[in-house]
Each structure stands twice: as C-alpha cells, then as structure tokens.
Amino acid sequence: MAAVLFDFSGTLFRVESTESWLRAVLDDSGILLSEPELERAAQALEAAGALPGGAEPRQLPGELAGAWAVRDKSARLHRAAYTGLSRRVPLPDPALHDALYERHMTPAAWSPYPDAVEVLRALRERGVAVGVVSNIGWDLRPVFRAHGLDPFVDAYVLSYEHGVQKPDPRLFSVACEALGVDPARTLMVGDNRAADGGATALGCRVHFVDHLPAHLRPDALLPVLDLVG
C-alpha cells in the first residue's frame, strides 16, 4: 500500500460523551442545573442525536430529513441539521443550542484513540502517505494540530469543502489525487460500512473499525500496519 486514508470521527478520534458536552457548555454559560436535570437533558440530547459524532437520532423528525441526508455537503446544512435536532430538547436558555454546536468543534471535545499516534507515526516512518477523508461540516484541522496528529497527515479531504459526501467515490478520488497515489494501492480505514465502504467503487481496499468510546478500543488501529505491509 502506498497510502492510507482515515475517517475522522469514530476512527482516529472520539467525541466526548453527551453529558460532558452539555456540562462544559453549561459551565461556560454560568447556568446551573441539578444533577438529575442535567442527566435528563443529556439523555434527551443523545436520543435526539444532537451531538455530531455521537449517537444518531433515534427518531428523525420529518422536517429535518432533507437536511439530515445531505448535512455533510456544507457548513450551513451541517449546523442546521444538528442545531435543529438539539432544539427539540428544551434547555434553560435558547442560546445554549448554538453554544453546544460551537463546543463540538473545539479540540477539547475530541480525544484521539489510544493507538492513533503510534499508527500514524509508524506509517510516516515507512513512507506511507496519509489522508483524512471525513464527512463533516467544519474544519477539523485544529483538532489534529491541538492533539499533535497534524504532522502525520499529508492531506485533508473534507466533505463540506467539496460539496460531496461519502460514499460518493469522488471524495475518495480527490484524496488519492491529493496524495498522488493509485486507488488500487490505497487503504481506506473507517467505522461506517456504508459511507467508508464507498471507497471500494474506486478500487481502494477498505478496513473497518468499531465506533466505540476510546477507553474500550485501545488497539483497533494497529492491524492497519500489517495490512499496509
């Protein structure tokens, strides 16, 4: 393999829990809720699917179905879809919904999986090109920089910057072109079989990992090194 493409959320990084997400925003806003109130609100936000990178909606409202289907094609659609879901949950201040969306874009909201740095460093040492291909509505580069992973990434291909989202093979094609590699010599690593599996249409090999909390998935990326050879 000449290159490895990685998904972002659920593959290299994991977003914080819904409770941690809400608690951080409430703390920043100076709004106090009792623990039972906070827990109930967090559970409702999780059921709504309001945290990008977290659980998907248990029930998608019909009025948001259109935006949800194409949410990763633009920053506007991404924000509209997720804040629309968040607003289905009553919170003490309506401004909290936008604050929650802003919070999830900060490096503090994300943690790299335990083996991410080790795998990326090993790929760099072997001369294997690395790209990040993500369905997303915002610039994740600051997250990589803040956690020290940016030096190991040669190209970022983000859906909202191209108006194309996985599984459309065009997004993977952009990544291969940016790295100057043949798709047949490229491995795509992701957690979503439908979205990341789209790379096979281009001729890439695909390897899947489970989207689990970081502490429950300490070494799932290590097999990538064997697959690259």
Q: Give the other-Cβ count within 10 Å of 150's Cβ.
A: 15
Instruction: State mean pLDDT over 25-34.
Output: 96
Contact call for residues 48 and 57 (beta carbons, < 8 A): yes
What's the confidence (pLDDT) of residue 102?
Answer: 98
Superfamily for 3-14+110-228?
HAD superfamily/HAD-like (3.40.50.1000)
Please list the residue range(s) of the chain that carry CATH number 3.40.50.1000: 3-14+110-228
Report the alpha-carbon distance of residue 112 to residue 15 in Å, rounded. Answer: 9
Residue 203 has pLDDT above 90, yes or no: yes
Rounded to 5 degrees, what angle do the CA atoms 219, 220, 221 make? 90
Report the alpha-carbon distance of residue 112 to residue 225 in Å, rounded. Answer: 18
Percent of the chain with pLDDT over 90: 100
Percent of the chain with pLDDT over 70: 100
Q: Give the other-Cβ count within 10 Å of 166's Cβ.
A: 24
The pLDDT confidence band at residue 26, using thresholds 50, 70 and 90, is very high
Instruction: State mean pLDDT over 103-115.
Output: 98
Listed residue (100, 114, 121) closest to 213, CA to CA? 114
Listed residue (2, 6, 1) closest to 188, CA to CA? 6
Q: Give the other-Cβ count within 10 Å of 62's Cβ.
A: 7
Residue 229 has pLDDT above 90, yes or no: no
Report the alpha-carbon distance of residue 106 to residue 113 in Å, rounded. Answer: 17
Listed residue (183, 129, 116) closest to 156, CA to CA? 129
pTM of structure: 0.96
What's the confidence (pLDDT) of residue 12?
Answer: 98
